[in-house]
Structure 1
Amino acid sequence: MGGFSIWHWLVVLLVVVLIFGTKKLRNIGTDLGGAVKGFKDGMREGGEDAADGKAPTATAQVANKSGDADGKTIDIDAKEKH
């Protein structure tokens, strides 16, 4: 019951290719690579903000609580600028 040999892995790879096909596997690889790249870029941008001493900025919208029942939202950042 030891580890798997190279032949076991080749059979598993053959079964996966037969089930999904090469095009689907290529698309999965491309999507996975794009996700990893996006994660690394996000981590790099987050590190630059921390190095600058600035907190990451996010635009938030909240419901207008000034008594208006129209349900409109306002931009907090825009309201603070005035």
Structure 2
Amino acid sequence: MQLKDMAIGAKGRVKAMTTSTPEYRRRLLMLGVTPGCTIEVVRIAPLGDPIEIRTRGCLISVRKDEAEILDIEPIG
């Protein structure tokens, strides 16, 4: 599952980051989104871009392009 497919309030764990654009990966890593971390979708803009997530106690807004590189494992 990808982050962009998750509903508001859904929680998941980052399984992997798959990208051909290292800038997106680097930015997410600097913000604390690493493989194995838990995320929760807080808000989604009306047009779907950006998506606000909570991870490690911080709120982060990510664009659709950045959200596409995250493979998420849903948590119960």
Query: Do both proteins adopt the same fold according to a TM-score greater than 0.5, normalized to the shorter chain?
Result: no
Higher RCO (CA 8 Å, separation ≥ 6 residues): 2
The structure with more strand, counted as a fraction of residues: 2
Structure of larger gyration radius: 1
Q: Normalising by structure 2, report the TM-score.
A: 0.24
Q: Normalising by structure 1, report the TM-score.
A: 0.22
The structure with more helix, counted as a fraction of residues: 1
